[in-house]
Structure 1
């Protein structure tokens, strides 16, 4: 990840890591979610409301991070590493959602994509602001995912799944791809598809992408006491697990997952 010398926010209109500009996302948001109605849309709309409420609660707590209970994280801390890497992860989620928007007319898929794009863009902004609040650079000279190999607060080594003891065989190697991150070839596969095939590729990719985000959130939990970070991880796990279940049903209705290129 390229080191950043200052925590200044990128200028409006510059593309994120996923190549999506602020104007593109704002234009889609201004249009509102796609027209049409279905049971799936109602479910997703309700989830979006919950996500917004959770995001508001998290945002309210920003600025209360440097307390006796929550010391300011250092640049090599798990909290800082998570903030940087989850921004990259979320930005790709926005990119995938923007791609499928233009390749399907299915209301349920477009509504899901709208929810993912707006929610993950907002959460990425929160993570950016954490680093600003902590006066830490947005980039690091350490390889991606180094924070995931740090010992837990109880001294366990390796990557623990939602607890404070490491799971055998689950240790992440610094510099390896982030869990669930789509490869450039897989993004090209989605870009080249259309209609039903694009929907299946998108859902296959996004299920894995959400599973990776849950894995990262679970890995931070035993490595921090920061109340805001813990609240954020719980919100990510709850919302993305719910969407994984939803997307699995949507994918089953469309014939199941596709074989992805490497």
Structure 2
């Protein structure tokens, strides 16, 4: 008799514990479902800054890719060729991403009006860098003129290396304000992140190019 009463009691305790555990697991599962954000949550819509940055930086990058491709084939120094390869690879990838965004947003690949007007989007203040000292005909700061590109194409050997480093350093420095503005004012997270990545990588490359010019007893272009 005592054993018979203990068995049902033990069984009842087991069932009660099992039920409690099941309820806890169910509650935890429901809590997770409540906390997980919906995949339908809308991403911020692209603003004039996102669109203008993607359009103008694509154009700016394209000239860098052209110069880097030339350097990869003609540079005398293997270190210059490696730098050119890195720049060409990174900026081709970035152009692809920016052009992909523009296509998704239903926007043209290039701006149809004046460049860099998106840097005046916050209350009318003009944050564009001064074009003072830029080559005649350069659409954006840092970009080489047609005459400078022709001269680069005509050079060979160590002279080519120096001029390439000078042009590319100025190109990086000229594009930095656009990347800074994009990193600060872009609404789309992917655009903001890409602009930040550009700043970091190009600052490192610019430091390297200054060192390489110093080693060759050459000065940056002004």
TM-score of Structure 1 vs Structure 2, range by shorter chain: 0.7 to 0.9
Instruction: Give the structure with higher Rg (CA).
Output: 2
Distance apart, 1:101 and its partner CA: 2.3
Counterpart among 90, 109, 124 of residue 80 in structure 2? 109
Counterpart among 133, 141, 144 of residue 104 in structure 2? 133
Specify the alignment match of 1:84 in structure 2: 55
Counterpart among 125, 133, 156 of residue 157 in structure 1? 125
Distance 1:225 1:205, change over 3 A: same
Runs of 4+ in 1 over 3 A off after TM superposition: 66-69, 170-173
Size of the alignment, in residue pairs? 180
**What's the RMSD between the two structures over aligned residues?**
2.5
Would the aligned equivalents of 1:148 and 1:172 in 2 still touch at CA under 8 Å? no
Runs of 5+ consecutive residues of structure 1 not aligned to the other structure: 1-63, 161-169
Q: Counterpart of 1:102 in 2: which secondary structure?
A: helix
Q: Deviations over 1:159-200 (max 9, x none)?
A: 17xxxxxxxxx4679x97212111111111111111111111
Runs of 5+ consecutive residues of structure 2 not aligned to the other structure: 1-38
Would the aligned equivalents of 1:94 and 1:116 in 2 still touch at CA under 8 Å? yes
Specify the alignment match of 1:98 in structure 2: 69
TM-score of the superposed pair, with normalisation by structure 1:
0.63
Distance apart, 1:146 and its partner CA: 1.4
Distance 1:134 1:67, change over 3 A: farther
Q: Matched residues in 2 for 1:108 and 1:125: separation?
A: 26
Specify the alignment match of 1:245 in structure 2: 207
Specify the alignment match of 1:9 in structure 2: none
Counterpart among 170, 174, 181 of residue 208 in structure 1? 170
Which is helix-richer, 1 or 2? 2
TM-score of the superposed pair, with normalisation by structure 2:
0.73
Distance 1:172 1:134, change over 3 A: farther
